Structure 1
Amino acid sequence: MRGAPSSALQLLLLLLSRACAAGADPLRTPLDPDVTPRITVLSSGLQGCRRFRSSALNYSTLLLEADGERLYVGARGAAFALNASDIADRSARTIVWEASPEQKRQCMLKGKDNKTECFNHIRFLQRFNSTHLYMCGTHAFKPLCAHIEEKSFVMSSQPEEGKDKCPYGPRTGYTALIIDQEMYSASRYEFRSYPDIRRNSPAPTLKTDDGPTRWLNDANFVGSTLVRQRSGAGDDDKIYFFFTERSPERATGSGHSRVPRVARVCKGDRGGHLTLQKRWTSFLKARLTCSLPEYDFQFNVLRSVHVVHADALLYGIFGLEWKNVKASAVCRFSLTDLHEAFDGPYMENQNSGWKEYTGKIPDPRPGTCITDALRARGINVSTSLPDDVLYFVRRHPLMSQEVQPSDRRPLLFRRSTHYTHLAAHTTQGLDGHTYRVLYLGTDEGWLHKAVEVGGHLLIIEELQLFDEPQPVASLVISAKQMCVYVGSASGVLQLPLSSCSRYASCYDCIFARDPHCAWNGERCVEVAAQADRSALIQDIQNGSKGCENTQNDVAQRSRSVRVGDDVLLQCELSSNLATPFWTLDCSELQGYDLTSGFRTGTDGLLIIEARRDQSGLYTCYSVENDVKVPVVTYNVTVRPAPPPAPAVPSDDFLPAPTELPNSMRPFPSPPAPLLPHSEMLSPRNMQAMYLSLITFLGGLCVVLTVVLIYVGFCLQAGRRGKYSIRAAAAAYPKRRSRSRKQQRSCSRAGPEVKTISSHCNGNGAVQDGGFLQIVPGEGHTPPAPPLPPTPPRPSAECGLSATLPSVLRRMNGNSYMLLRQADSESASPVGNSFSEELNKILEKRKHVLLLPKPDESSV
């Protein structure tokens, strides 16, 4: 994946360029593939929404009957039969199919998640015949399948083995079809097996070949479909499988490790006689391409497909393999282009690289179905094909020609959106054209409704389906009920294909460009519900014509402000594609710079420090599809500021007060306390205080850092060497006879004795020979009796000796003794010599087991 960074850079440049273009021109042109939904509807504003919930979870499998009366749902541990006209109806039938406790225990022993994987997830639910359905579930990593009697909706037989029909896990890519009571499936069936396309029943069962040229490389399947053969050449029906696999081609130029594919097999394939026995003889695969040609960027992961058989069209959702980059594209393909790709040249693996095959092609053409022309030559079934044809099929499963989308570009591109599933509905507009409306579900629980116009998809609306974000797991459309059904982790939703009553005006109805909606002169109505359509107004191609002679309700409001005040004139636009346009007294409002006194935004127009000349009639227009529609008018009056308050007369003009005798004069009231005021609170002084505080804190940090370094250095110095009390006792007499210089050199060189501090005598002279001796002991040894207290000295002790105890201490289970030399007479506190005192202490501590090599960490 060497080219992945360059492709990521291309996508980043693409997103930035689109963002810049959007900022420069809010009115997106139809040629811009990044489409913005016209309106946004939250979950509280959904119309006609019905929901079905139960105690089960993960409603990921939906089956709508052809008559549109019944909707079958497969969930985790249960299956349901719902009324398609109202899924919230309480007449729903239920089949509870949970995995047994023993099977769940076995699943957990395999290392699987007991919260998500060790359950029976229904992965397959389709009609088997006119009276029965067929259902398969993972059954806690031991797949099972069962038949369901349709009328009573109960299992008609005991579950059967399903490991060749259903995947083990709930998230494994999977697709399957039942065609004429034959089941075709594609998935990774076992733990360590390769992906496989199989026909499971009836015999003979067929599968893809895994050597010497592997036909599938870590494939992840997303869909399959049956295409009936319509030609008169007696050709066989074909089954198409859609998936994404690891690319075996070298130096494709895209830099992607995965590519989208379509594979084809013939329905009547029965395998080879000797070569490719029980293997497909018609398997071929080709690459699906969905890219932005102007940026030379390709979408390499296929997420969902939908086939419109009536129009022989295929719609696919494509994404990126990078999980941290969200982007989706919708491409449309023609089934005719798929046929042409499988009729084109083959690829061949040469020297671990794939190149187009230029040699001779055997006859009949490898990978083709049995036709009338072959039957005339005596080849009635695939087992009659020559060995050279089958050998060529085994070596050349990949086609050279790529399947390009219509118009060689996506219909829709959305950044920051991850589409998961799609479904399409075909309808006819009032202009006689056939339009296809796509419903796209996202990984965050939104549903986008889009219409295809002129080779591009226009998103009519985006609907929030759930209050809590959750992916859309499945989508099914009912043309009879005019509803779309959405499966998710929490339940099933039923929504009408359109909500025309949401559009309140003629222009709003026309701007939507919804093929299901039209204006009847009074309101926006459903086209399918109108018997007489002659007076309906609709403009899907342009979204701008038809409402010129209609009256539009404009809200009228008044504002009265004073000079110098600010006022906001609100203008709410219902469309995300509309932009506001303001006029003052029927003239365009010019300029929104800093000196104009106006600001415009999504909320409306802001008048800053209103002036007298800004009075007048303000009108807000909504501009969409080059049409200006008035929304609201404001009659703004800017009144002059009130006159200043009259001045209080001075004392010179006040009449003189009447003199009162001293006895009748009231006591003078104390002066009112003045609010404290200091120059220290001025901004300049506050700034100086902040700088001083920051400087002080910085200096404090430096001082603490130096102290920590010094303490760490001292601790490291204290850990050097090992200590022995016997060596100290033996070395003490020799030490007394040495000079100070020799003592210092010995204290630095000898590991047994470590000098910690000296003592100051009364005259301030430093005494020699002061040392600290540490004696390791056992954690269980009882503490020795404390030494006699040291008599007071004429001067205070210096250094660390003032803080170290002179009694026995216990730390971390070891005993330590601190011995301190007294005065120059080398006498102990009780008058004995140091040697005698030391011998006494040693006699008392004979029961202590001294370690030959004490642990340095205990010192």
Structure 2
Amino acid sequence: MGGTAVVLCLILQLTQEVKASVGNCIPRKTVKYQTVSVEMFVKEGLSNVSTLLVDEETDTLFVGGRDVISALDLNNVSREIAREHWFATQERQLECIRRGKDKIRCQNYILLLHKINDSNVYVCGTNAYHPLCDHMVIQRTKMHLQGRAEESRGKCPFEPTLKYASVFVDGAFYSATSNNFLGTEPIILRSMQNPVRTEFKTSWLNEPSFVGMEIVPESEFSPDGDDDKIYVFFTETAVEFEFYDKILVSRIARICKGDLGGKRLLQRRWTSFLKARLSCSIPELNFHFNIIQDVFFLRRGKWQDSIFYGIFSQQWGRLDISAVCAYSMASIQEAFSKGSYRGPVTVEHSHVRWMVFRGEVPVPRPGACIDNFARSMGYNTSSDLPDKVLQFARDHPLMDSSVNPIGDRPALLKRSSNYTRIVVDRVTGLDKQTYDVMFLGTDDGYLHKAFNCDGEMFIVEELQLFLSPEPVQFLQLSAKKGMLYVGSMSAVVQLQVSGCHRYKYCLDCILARDPYCAWSQASHACVLLSDQTENDVRKYLFTLGNNVHLKCVPLSNLARVVWKFNGSRIQDKDSKYLLYDGGIAIFNVTVAETGFYDCLSVEKSKAKEFFITVARYALYAHQNTEKANVNAATDDNNEAEAVGFQSSLSTYLLKDATKQKSVGSQKENLLLKLLSAGFALLFFFLFIWNFYKGHISLPWKIREASSKDTNADLENPELTTGRSGAVRESSAIQTNMSFLNE
């Protein structure tokens, strides 16, 4: 008790330090349930949603619940395509109750759904604490179980609320769960092909809570002839620490896909099982988030570039902080391939301590996959490995080195939110930078969208998904469709990864910094970046004193290009500019040339000219570095916020854009007023001068002159041509005046 009191005291002392030092991300916007645009599936009979399976090939979302499997339309989850019930028999339920379990839990909870092909899904359920697995056949809008259920001890949990993990790889089923009714035999098992499992030893697995399992194809393009790996994530009671109370630690374990077990030692046991501590902490406080809640594997084209993202929480105290840590494949490989081993050593009074192994490590390296080096020594499979290697692997499953996160600290820290689920999408923003956008479900039914913006974590928004608070139990991403699928105990929700439509104004769209979104001039709305055309936004960098080339192409062969600077038309005779086919050149750029450059495509039809803005460039000069960003946007109100289309927009640019907007608008208004006054005065003098010269007749003399002019025109055709030319010239003047007054 004394030790526990000391721990609690230390935690309480750290509380204020953590709150003071940890940067807390506050969502920029909170969107309540009534205004969230979602599709929802809620049906009578659907309860205890326990798993989701996204099948993009067949446009189906499979939902596992209590006694039922539903197939939903992936494009609209409110539409149920098919349903299949799977009940535990009455006899099985009665036996479950007799063994002391609750009547509600003595039913069949569908926990595992794995796609085998487009017409076959592997399904497992608790079956009243007697787990079974079966194959479900899919035929268009119908599906049915084959009815060849097999006992699935070690594949599927007995207990509906027990955490578990599984993956289906090349016809083999890998699972991490409990192997018995009481939940006292944790196991990581491969079944269906070459069955292999972990040892029932606390040094291997000690009261684990599994959260995830993933395969990494490390054999691809491996110069060493390496094998693919299966990684398992879980929290367990630490065996390596001496303490008065149980200390929980997060783990990452690794096994080789080609592992067949040993020949004499470790028969049908993993010869490659190794585990390491998964560190997620605040280094300056030495404060650890030691419980992993969920994990997501962000797969990339090259497996070396893939990243694991995990949600973590603390064991003691009520700091109410969730952390997200990210792990590179390089750091994971280093911990397992180069790190030292730990093992139990008996000391005085039969006390066991876990010590770093300082002796000679057998060759080939224990726990390593069979690679070219092992083959060169004559070890082609794990069953060929010598006993001393297998003995060492059995006694030293724990690595001494921890797997540290990218940056050696959490990517995100959030107070007052308990994260339950995470998925991550990689997006290319308008600035051509790559962003990992995290979607995080909370225990009170909210969804947070967060990403790293200019070196700081930024939460774009939080969405209330359910009317009454309930935990986000499952979260699935379809990057192909740009959709998220969220499961609670009683409902399934579908929503877009982007929320561009929620930003009604240009500046609001910019400040959201959402990598999915951009402001569109054509639709006057914040829209998906993928819907933008190539001419909507461009980014350049120029140095004062250099020449700048801005590209612009008219919309058709019949169109010509007109350039404006801060609302005023640029004339061909201006020596500062060179107008050429395909763009404009600005020579020896100074601060005076910074501002807005609009490229308009002008096309004539039936004596009318139509002006369409093709591109807008905003030239800004940095005051401190004498550099500027050039951003093309298509905002219709001459607003400097157009620069904010960059997701990584700096605060300085936002402030500068606002100043430019104000100054630019004042200059435009003054210029337009002067031009209007000047044209009015010019028109008045032209009218007086023409009247004085007799070019304009009084109204009552027009009729008399009309008949004379007609006869003169018939006698002298050249006069007709000249008058038509004058009419065309007058029309052109009117058009130009209309353009300048635009």
Map of 2:618 onto structure 1: none
How far does the alpha carbon of each residue in 1:47-77 deviate from its partner, in whole angstroms, 9 at most, with x for none? 2444343412122211112437221111111
How far does the alpha carbon of each residue in 1:390-437 deviate from its partner, in whole angstroms, 9 at most, with x for none? 000011000011011111111111223211110011110011110011
1:386 matched to 2:386? The reply is yes
How far does the alpha carbon of each residue in 1:770-795 deviate from its partner, in whole angstroms, 9 at most, with x for none? xxxxxxxxxxxxxxxxxxxxxxxxxx
Map of 1:140 onto structure 2: 128
How far does the alpha carbon of each residue in 1:778-831 deviate from its partner, in whole angstroms, 9 at most, with x for none? xxxxxxxxxxxxxxxxxxxxxxxxxxxxxxxxxxxxxxxxxxxxxxxxxxxxxx
1:36 matched to 2:30? The reply is no
The CA deviation at 1:270 is 0.4
Map 1:211-290 onto structure 2 (within 5 A): 211=201, 214-229=203-218, 230=220, 231-251=222-242, 257-290=247-280
State which structure, 1 or 2, has the greater radius of gyration over its C-alpha atoms: 1
1:149 matched to 2:137? The reply is yes
CA distance in 1: counterparts of 2:417 and 2:119, whole angstroms = 42
Map of 2:76 onto structure 1: 86
Question: Of residues 163, 175, 191 in structure 2, which corresponds to 1:200?
Answer: 191
Residue type at the aligned position of 1:279:
R
Structure 1 length-normalised TM? 0.60
1:350 matched to 2:457? The reply is no
- Residue 78 of structure 2: SS of its match in structure 1? coil
Map of 1:168 onto structure 2: 158
Map of 1:541 onto structure 2: 648
Question: Of residues 515, 522, 525 in structure 2, which corresponds to 1:523?
Answer: 525
Map 1:466-481 onto structure 2 (within 5 A): 466-481=466-481
Native 8 Å contact 1:68 1:480 kept in 2? no
Native 8 Å contact 1:448 1:461 kept in 2? yes
1:70 matched to 2:65? The reply is no
CA distance in 2: counterparts of 1:87 and 1:98, whole angstroms = 24
Map 1:379-778 onto structure 2 (within 5 A): 379-521=379-521, 522-532=524-534, 533-534=536-537, 535=633, 537=642, 538-542=645-649, 544=651, 545=653, 547-548=657-658
Map of 2:113 onto structure 1: 125
CA distance in 2: counterparts of 1:3 and 1:507, whole angstroms = 55
CA separation of 1:20 and 1:216: change in aligned 2, threshold 3 A: closer
The CA deviation at 1:10 is 5.0
Map of 1:732 onto structure 2: none
Question: Of residues 173, 181, 185 in structure 1, which corresponds to 2:171?
Answer: 181
Native 8 Å contact 1:11 1:297 kept in 2? no
Residue type at the aligned position of 2:33:
S
CA distance in 2: counterparts of 1:148 and 1:296, whole angstroms = 50
Native 8 Å contact 1:122 1:135 kept in 2? yes
Native 8 Å contact 1:15 1:415 kept in 2? no
CA distance in 2: counterparts of 1:323 and 1:72, whole angstroms = 39
Structure 1: where are the runs of 5+ without partners? 22-31, 553-859
Native 8 Å contact 1:77 1:119 kept in 2? yes
Residue type at the aligned position of 2:132:
L
Map of 2:328 onto structure 1: 334
CA separation of 1:4 and 1:438: change in aligned 2, threshold 3 A: farther
CA distance in 2: counterparts of 1:80 and 1:507, whole angstroms = 43
CA distance in 1: counterparts of 2:10 and 2:501, whole angstroms = 43
1:309 matched to 2:299? The reply is yes
CA separation of 1:541 and 1:369: change in aligned 2, threshold 3 A: same
Residue type at the aligned position of 1:319:
S
CA separation of 1:8 and 1:84: change in aligned 2, threshold 3 A: farther
Map of 1:844 onto structure 2: none
CA separation of 1:63 and 1:398: change in aligned 2, threshold 3 A: same
Native 8 Å contact 2:324 2:412 kept in 1? yes
CA separation of 1:329 and 1:156: change in aligned 2, threshold 3 A: same
Native 8 Å contact 1:206 1:270 kept in 2? yes
- Residue 76 of structure 1: SS of its match in structure 2? coil
CA separation of 1:52 and 1:452: change in aligned 2, threshold 3 A: farther
Native 8 Å contact 1:33 1:410 kept in 2? no
CA distance in 2: counterparts of 1:446 and 1:54, whole angstroms = 24
CA separation of 1:148 and 1:348: change in aligned 2, threshold 3 A: same
CA separation of 1:129 and 1:376: change in aligned 2, threshold 3 A: farther
Native 8 Å contact 1:224 1:242 kept in 2? yes
Residue type at the aligned position of 1:88:
S
1:111 matched to 2:105? The reply is no
Residue type at the aligned position of 2:449:
K
CA distance in 2: counterparts of 1:295 and 1:320, whole angstroms = 14
CA separation of 1:9 and 1:508: change in aligned 2, threshold 3 A: farther
CA separation of 1:137 and 1:266: change in aligned 2, threshold 3 A: same
Residue type at the aligned position of 1:539:
Q
CA distance in 1: counterparts of 2:77 and 2:284, whole angstroms = 46
Native 8 Å contact 2:340 2:400 kept in 1? yes
Map of 2:313 onto structure 1: 319
Native 8 Å contact 1:317 1:331 kept in 2? yes
How far does the alpha carbon of each residue in 1:524-548 deviate from its partner, in whole angstroms, 9 at most, with x for none? 2211222344236423223544653
CA distance in 2: counterparts of 1:252 and 1:323, whole angstroms = 17
CA distance in 2: counterparts of 1:177 and 1:360, whole angstroms = 36
Residue type at the aligned position of 2:236:
E
How far does the alpha carbon of each residue in 1:720-766 deviate from its partner, in whole angstroms, 9 at most, with x for none? xxxxxxxxxxxxxxxxxxxxxxxxxxxxxxxxxxxxxxxxxxxxxxx
Residue type at the aligned position of 2:331:
D
Residue type at the aligned position of 1:123:
L
Map of 1:725 onto structure 2: none
CA separation of 1:358 and 1:267: change in aligned 2, threshold 3 A: same
- Residue 30 of structure 2: SS of its match in structure 1? strand
The CA deviation at 1:37 is 1.0
- Residue 188 of structure 2: SS of its match in structure 1? strand
Native 8 Å contact 2:131 2:157 kept in 1? yes
CA separation of 1:292 and 1:149: change in aligned 2, threshold 3 A: same
CA separation of 1:430 and 1:235: change in aligned 2, threshold 3 A: same
Native 8 Å contact 1:472 1:487 kept in 2? yes
Higher helix proportion (structure 1 or 2) = 2
Native 8 Å contact 1:510 1:543 kept in 2? no
Native 8 Å contact 1:511 1:543 kept in 2? no
CA distance in 1: counterparts of 2:20 and 2:282, whole angstroms = 18
Residue type at the aligned position of 1:379:
Y
The CA deviation at 1:14 is 4.9
Residue type at the aligned position of 1:84:
L
Map of 1:296 onto structure 2: 286
Native 8 Å contact 2:39 2:77 kept in 1? no
- Residue 196 of structure 2: SS of its match in structure 1? coil
CA distance in 1: counterparts of 2:417 and 2:74, whole angstroms = 30
Structure 2 length-normalised TM? 0.69
The CA deviation at 1:444 is 1.0
The CA deviation at 1:13 is 4.5
CA distance in 2: counterparts of 1:347 and 1:443, whole angstroms = 36
CA separation of 1:479 and 1:144: change in aligned 2, threshold 3 A: same
The CA deviation at 1:82 is 1.1
- Residue 394 of structure 2: SS of its match in structure 1? helix
Native 8 Å contact 1:258 1:300 kept in 2? yes
Residue type at the aligned position of 2:163:
G
Residue type at the aligned position of 2:91:
E
Identity of aligned residues (%): 40
Higher strand proportion (structure 1 or 2) = 2
Residue type at the aligned position of 1:149:
V
